[in-house]
């Protein structure tokens, strides 16, 4: 295995292209190096992207949108108070991944490209309407995060392509998001189910825009427009929450495994979506007061 740590975006694309499918991008390496230790064959060329400036910055545009480099570690994301305030759901989802040690390395780009059905940051990014800037040897494209994962462990990125950064769009006042997951203990585990909710309220506290995304309950993280529709035009009253739970539970397509049965995952995803919606609603209201 050859190790390369280029400092320019074009060099990353060129290295991946010349590796002809035998290259691999490494950001924090928390999934990749653990797999190498477990016996996974190593690529011919390993491209460490952490010395490329564009992949390691968090920037807020003048219109309020955020660009987060694909290699920025979870600890740096959660140390950014402005980003945390604007996107509490995205940042808390990232923060849930692994230990302090893992947070010092793990990135949004790695979590997405690892393409696990149970990735914590991915439902939060999808609910946030985040997109990613993808660069390859033949040029650049932008994709919604929701369209990146193709199947468990597989993305739609070409062998010469990599994610440069994520874009979180500007949002109106009284907007907030939340992410919750269930694990059997309080730290260091993989989600049995996860739910992200992103809301915007109007002056009267009525939901004017909503999105709901689920993790660990289908082969790929799931955007559930029907669940979002249930909340539109409401104040998240009890009857709406009952309906939200049943729509979410009915939308899941989980597997039975050691972490949870199908019935349990369906139920828990619904409960988490309701709780996340209420938290997002409270946060959006609190921002109005602030």
Partner 1 sequence: MKQHICTHINGEAAEFLCDPGDTLLQVLRDNLQLTGTKEGCGSGDCGACSVMLDDRLVCSCLVLAVEAQHHQIGTVEGLATGDRLHPLQQAFLDHAALQCGICTPGFLVAAKALLDHNPSPTESEVRFWIAGNLCRCTGYDKIVRAILAAAENMRDSHAGAQS
Residues 155-214 interacting with partner 1 (rule: CB under 8 A)? 186-188
Q: Indicate whether 100 belongs to the interface with partner 1 (CB under 8 A).
A: yes
From 104, 152, 158, 205, residue interacting with partner 1 (rule: CB under 8 A): 104
Closest CB to partner 1 among residues 98, 129: 98
From 71, 89, 105, 195, residue interacting with partner 1 (rule: CB under 8 A): 105
Q: Indicate whether 39 belongs to the interface with partner 1 (CB under 8 A).
A: no
Q: How far is the CB of 272 from partner 1 (least distance, A)?
A: 21
Q: What angle do CA 196, 200, 202 make, to 5 degrees?
A: 155
Closest CB to partner 1 among residues 27, 193: 27
Number of residues that bind partner 1 (CB under 8 A): 29
Q: Indicate whether 34 belongs to the interface with partner 1 (CB under 8 A).
A: yes
Q: How far is the CB of 147 from partner 1 (least distance, A)?
A: 29
Q: Given strand 131-136, what is the order of strands in its sheet?
A: 58-60, 66-69, 162-168, 131-136, 139-144
- Picking from 119, 81, 76, 125, the residue whose alpha carbon sits closest to that of residue 97 is 119
From 14, 57, 58, 75, residue interacting with partner 1 (rule: CB under 8 A): 75
Q: Indicate whether 50 belongs to the interface with partner 1 (CB under 8 A).
A: yes
From 98, 123, 270, 281, residue interacting with partner 1 (rule: CB under 8 A): 98
**Which residues on neighbouring strands pair with residue 73, listed in sequence order?**
107
Residues in the chain: 290
**Cα(5)–Cα(51) distance, integer angstroms:** 6
Closest CB to partner 1 among residues 15, 248: 15
Task: Give yes or no for a contact between 199 and 283, defined as CB atoms under 8 angstroms apart.
Answer: no
Q: Indicate whether 102 belongs to the interface with partner 1 (CB under 8 A).
A: yes
Task: Report the sign of the C-alpha dihedral through residues 268, 270, 126, 220, in that order.
Answer: positive
Residues 221-250 interacting with partner 1 (rule: CB under 8 A)? none
Closest CB to partner 1 among residues 185, 289: 185
Closest CB to partner 1 among residues 2, 282: 2
From 30, 198, 218, 249, residue interacting with partner 1 (rule: CB under 8 A): 30
Q: How far is the CB of 29 from partner 1 (least distance, A)?
A: 6
Task: Give yes or no for a contact between 131 and 144, defined as CB atoms under 8 angstroms apart.
Answer: yes
Q: How far is the CB of 104 from partner 1 (least distance, A)?
A: 3
Q: Indicate whether 40 belongs to the interface with partner 1 (CB under 8 A).
A: no
Closest CB to partner 1 among residues 4, 234: 4
Closest CB to partner 1 among residues 73, 236: 73
Site residues, partner 1 (CB under 8 A): 1-3, 5, 26, 28-30, 33-34, 36-38, 42, 46, 48, 50, 73, 75, 98-102, 104-105, 186-188
């Amino acid at each position: 295995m050859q190790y390369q740590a280029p400092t320019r975006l074009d060099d990353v694309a060129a290295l991946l292209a010349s590796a002809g499918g035998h290259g691999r991008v490494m950001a924090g390496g928390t999934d990749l190096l653990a797999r190498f230790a477990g016996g996974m064959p190593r690529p011919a060329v390993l491209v460490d992207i952490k010395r490329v400036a564009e992949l390691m910055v968090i920037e807020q545009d003048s219109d309020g949108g955020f660009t987060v480099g694909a290699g920025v570690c979870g600890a740096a994301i959660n140390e950014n108070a402005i980003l945390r305030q604007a996107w509490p759901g995205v940042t808390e989802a990232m923060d849930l991944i692994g230990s302090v040690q893992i947070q010092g390395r793990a990135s949004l780009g790695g979590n997405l490209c690892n393409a696990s059905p149970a990735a914590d940051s991915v439902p939060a990014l999808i609910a946030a309407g985040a997109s990613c800037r993808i660069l390859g040897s033949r040029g650049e494209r932008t994709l919604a995060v929701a369209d990146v994962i193709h199947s468990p462990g597989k993305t739609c990125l070409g062998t010469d392509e990599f994610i440069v950064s994520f874009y979180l769009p500007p949002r109106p006042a009284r907007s907030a998001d939340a992410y919750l997951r269930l694990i059997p203990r309080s730290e260091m585990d993989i989600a049995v189910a996860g739910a992200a909710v992103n809301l915007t309220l109007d002056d009267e506290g009525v939901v004017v825009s909503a999105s709901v995304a689920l993790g660990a309950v289908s082969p790929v993280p799931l955007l559930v427009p029907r669940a979002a529709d249930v909340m539109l035009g409401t104040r998240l009253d009890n009857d709406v929450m009952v309906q939200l739970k049943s729509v979410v539970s009915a939308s899941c397509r989980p597997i039975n495994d050691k972490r949870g049965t199908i019935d349990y995952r369906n139920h828990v995803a619904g409960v988490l979506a309701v709780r996340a919606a209420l938290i997002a609603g409270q946060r959006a209201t609190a921002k109005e007061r602030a």
